[in-house]
Structure 1
Amino acid sequence: MKRLALHLALGVGLALTAFQPALAAADAPDQYAARWPLQLPAGAGLVRLPLPAEVLTQLQTADLRDLRVFNGAGQPVPLALDRSSPETRVPAPPPIALPALPILADAQTGTATAGNNLSLRIEDGPGGRVVRLDTPPAGASAPAATLVGALIDTREQEAALQAIELDADWPAARPFAFRLHTSSDLRHWQPLGDVTAYRGADGTMTAPARVELHGDVLQGRYLRVTWDRAAAPDAVQLRGVRLLPVPPVATPPRIAVPLALPAGAAGDPHAIEWRLPFATPVAALDIRLDGSHALVPVRLLARQQREQPWTPLARHVVFHLTQDGQEQRSPPLELGPHGARRDWRLEADAATPGFTTPPQLTAWLAPAQLVFVASGGPPFTLAAGRADAAGTYLPLPSLIPGYEPGAQGRLPAAILAGAAPAVATPTAAPVATIAPGGQRDLRQWALWAVLVAGVLALGGMAWALMRQLGKPPGDRED
């Protein structure tokens, strides 16, 4: 009995001894497909590492969990993944100040005139409709008139507007309403908006007289501002307006990865299929056509596994046109949350000749960076590319003392010290191609073999023990 127990303990120890080295090697640098030496700033203990294209195109997980930083002893260091877009500052366009031309109404006839003795007259001629501002002859007396509004010439303003602010004075201590209209011919007016403003008895304003717009463009039109005629003629003074353009949209920076289609991928002019060699999600796909005059409506489909059916993602019109000597190209196709796919299919509209030549494809990847603690001694190594890697990222605030949003951008940056093993233009594999697993798959099988062997050994020893216990007392071995 004692001898059997000794054999059992020895078997368990041997199984664990054989299993532990394989388990310890599960997260070693050589378990990853690509490795880069890192160059860290001198004396830096907390470092950020922006990930270039050659790293992102080696990843085999959509959530980027197959990234590690190892120190000189081969130990992984604590790290966090930062996928927030770097802050992009876009200067706001300055306001556009335009003067206002007073509109006067004849107290007797009601004829509208413009201030400064300018009469507003519209003439129709062979060349089209003309707006004329005529000055009466010298010595002629201006008719009695009442100020009823103001006219602003906005015909040359091409910018989309988010608001219009009035540079005006109006009666104090009571709400006062302004109405805005636009017209292209000074005869037919369309409402643009209105605002009720207020000035205190001391002349202070609670808020500017501002009319909110939604990207309206006033090019080719006049702007008219009117108000309550019950106010005294000299109680309202509109000096001009300020046009506030819509701020430009800050496009987050992205990393361009040209894709080289494999030979034969464009055998069908109406369909192109390819498989990405990396799992990093694609934020947008840029499709470029050859030739100066080309236009093809397309449909983009994708799937994660070859056994799955194709899923339609989006429709797009791809074009390359030349107009007045200027090239016009279609924008990239935004993919949003649908970019984490491996197999892709681009279909041209059947009513068109399709792709006479294979299009140029560029995958745009969202930026990402690692933040890690430079613990242990150098040299530090970045490793990437392992489909079965476990997630080890820590929350970003746990690495940065006194964390606040954007604090990671102020950390010193590490860089790749050597030439990257990944090519700058990854070749997209045909969909039918199955990439070999490589050396890390052999290690994985060896790990499982050791584990199964240990379990079988333990099972055999347990079976032998049960048989021994089932024998009569005189037949048992000591």
Structure 2
Amino acid sequence: MLCAALLVQAEDLPDDFASHTPLTVSGEGPWYRLELPLALQLSARQSNLNDVRVFNADGQAQPYAITLGEPQRAEDQTPVAVKWFPLYNSDDARDAEPKIRVERSTNGTLVEVLPQGEIEAGEEILRGWLLDTSAINAPLDQLILDWSTEREGFQRFSIEASDDLQHWKRWGEGQVARLSFADELVEQRVVTLPGRSARYLRLLWTTPQTAPTLASAQVVNTRPGALPLSWSPTINGSVEKPGVYVWQLPVALPLERMKVAITQPNSLAPATLYGRRDSNAPWQLIDSGLLYRLTQNGQDVVQDEMELPGNVVQQLKLEVDDRGGGLGNDAPKLSFAVRATQVVFLGRGAPPYSVAIGNATIKGANLPLSTLVPGVTQEKLASLGSAKLTVTPVEVPSAAAPVAAGLDWKRIGLWSVLVLGVLFLGWMAIGTLRASRHK
């Protein structure tokens, strides 16, 4: 009986966790999928999410599995070079949409692109560039440009896509930059594309007279099967010294992207980013790039994000070159993103169900997904019922202080009862044995 009592007391209970949020379920059970918001993950006390549990209405823990949003990158993401063709307009129609006639090879690849109509020599204006991406049968994720060295500063252009060179769809705007600081050169040559397929891309410069001469154009395919990102609310940082900002995350996480809130107009900051797992580890270089918020033609042009390799970090440090003006005296707010994390659980007992998180000492209880859902496939996983939080967490908790290894009085008390019970039984057995010998 004492052993049974000990096992009952050792079961996980909802009150053992710092955060406890009700769930609503829909679809056909008994399995349900829950997208775990990053704001809720920040309540965890263990970076591997061992302290996540799902309970039913009677407080009974449910079997569950965690599919962590680890980055799914292709091993080889070599950019693919594409052909580019200049688009000209006449001087009196420099802002008009270029009209072109093309010549193709037998396999459909463009050989030459010429203006539709005659333009007298010396009156042609470089309006933009046409890229032939017809050889790439995959969604386009990034565009990488290089241009002539005499054109420094910012290059801003619209991006349009077409499959027939007649009908064009707008894909947004692109921004690249090349700036010189003393003997150093800072470049931003990568433009994000919307991850869709197209046979041709058209880049039209906002100000035609600033259009540079391209030296190369490359595209990168979309990462196959990449999971969506889950973004955090903003957190505050601190100033280590002028131009050096440090942010402490509530828990160590595998970060994929970060965004710095640049509030001051006309800010320009060549920056280097470092990260580490804890305050005792050395800083590791993550990335370098150019952050800015500039006003051009009455519009703000912003580059405020940096890509991270998915390493688990809890502290970030940004060193800014103050020759560009910096990011101000106070540390800017920071938000970060991880790959979306999913909890799959088997609903047993009476609903409503709830998710609990936040316990520094509890051991993990998650099962492999193939064990929880026998014969699981991507199609079967997508067809499972869904669960959602009834309350959306919006605040980021402060970073949890390291938990000192202290005495677990609850466990000590239970074991003391068990040991005393055994001693009492032994004392009774000895007394009975003595009485039997006396008789």
Shared fold (TM-score, shorter chain, > 0.5): yes
Provide closer, same or farther for how the CA distance between residues 83 and 101 of structure 1 changes in structure 2, counting only shifts above 3 A.
Answer: closer
1:435 Cα offset (Å) = 6.4
1:452 Cα offset (Å) = 6.9
Query: What's 1:159 paired with?
Result: 131
Query: What's 1:35 paired with?
Result: 20
C-alpha distance in structure 2 between counterparts of 1:163 and 1:155, whole Å: 25
8 Å contact kept, 1:304–1:341: yes
Q: 2:64 aligns with which of 79, 89, 92?
A: 79
8 Å contact kept, 1:62–1:281: no
Give the aligned CA root-mean-square deviation in angstroms.
4.7
Query: What's 2:42 paired with?
Result: 57
C-alpha distance in structure 2 between counterparts of 1:17 and 1:404, whole Å: 39
**SS in structure 2 at match of 1:40:** strand
Gaps of 5+ in 1: 1-12, 88-96, 103-113, 115-120, 131-153, 166-214, 221-244
Among the aligned pairs, what percent are the same residue?
25
C-alpha distance in structure 2 between counterparts of 1:352 and 1:458, whole Å: 74
Letter matched to residue 364 of structure 1? A
Query: What's 2:401 paired with?
Result: 434
What are the equivalent positions in structure 2 for 1:1-40 lying under 5 Å apart? 16=3, 19-24=6-11, 27-40=12-25
Whether 1:384 aligns to 2:347 is no
C-alpha distance in structure 1 between counterparts of 2:252 and 2:438, whole Å: 59
C-alpha distance in structure 2 between counterparts of 1:427 and 1:256, whole Å: 15
What are the equivalent positions in structure 2 for 1:9-408 lying under 5 Å apart? 16=3, 19-24=6-11, 27-41=12-26, 44-83=29-68, 99-100=102-103, 127=122, 158-159=130-131, 161-163=133-135, 249=222, 252-261=227-236, 265-266=238-239, 268-330=241-303, 332-338=305-311, 340-349=312-321, 354-356=326-328, 357-408=330-381
C-alpha distance in structure 2 between counterparts of 1:128 and 1:385, whole Å: 69
Gaps of 5+ in 2: 73-99, 106-111, 113-117, 138-198, 205-217
Provide closer, same or farther for how the CA distance between residues 353 and 452 of structure 1 changes in structure 2, counting only shifts above 3 A.
Answer: farther
Structure index of larger Rg: 1
Provide closer, same or farther for how the CA distance between residues 459 and 101 of structure 1 changes in structure 2, counting only shifts above 3 A.
Answer: closer
The alignment covers a number of residue pairs equal to 319
C-alpha distance in structure 2 between counterparts of 1:331 and 1:267, whole Å: 21
Query: What's 2:409 paired with?
Result: 446
C-alpha distance in structure 1 between counterparts of 2:284 and 2:347, whole Å: 43
C-alpha distance in structure 2 between counterparts of 1:342 and 1:86, whole Å: 18
**Residues 111-147 of structure 1 deviation map (CA, whole Å, 9 limit, x = unaligned):** xxx9xxxxxx998x5x2689xxxxxxxxxxxxxxxxx
What TM-score do you get using the length of structure 2 for normalisation? 0.58
8 Å contact kept, 1:261–1:428: no
8 Å contact kept, 1:159–1:246: no
1:81 Cα offset (Å) = 1.7
Greater strand percent: which structure?
2
**SS in structure 2 at match of 1:387:** coil
Query: What's 1:210 paired with?
Result: none
C-alpha distance in structure 1 between counterparts of 2:278 and 2:422, whole Å: 38
**SS in structure 2 at match of 1:364:** strand
Provide closer, same or farther for how the CA distance between residues 453 and 347 of structure 1 changes in structure 2, counting only shifts above 3 A.
Answer: farther
C-alpha distance in structure 2 between counterparts of 1:271 and 1:373, whole Å: 47
Provide closer, same or farther for how the CA distance between residues 427 and 458 of structure 1 changes in structure 2, counting only shifts above 3 A.
Answer: closer
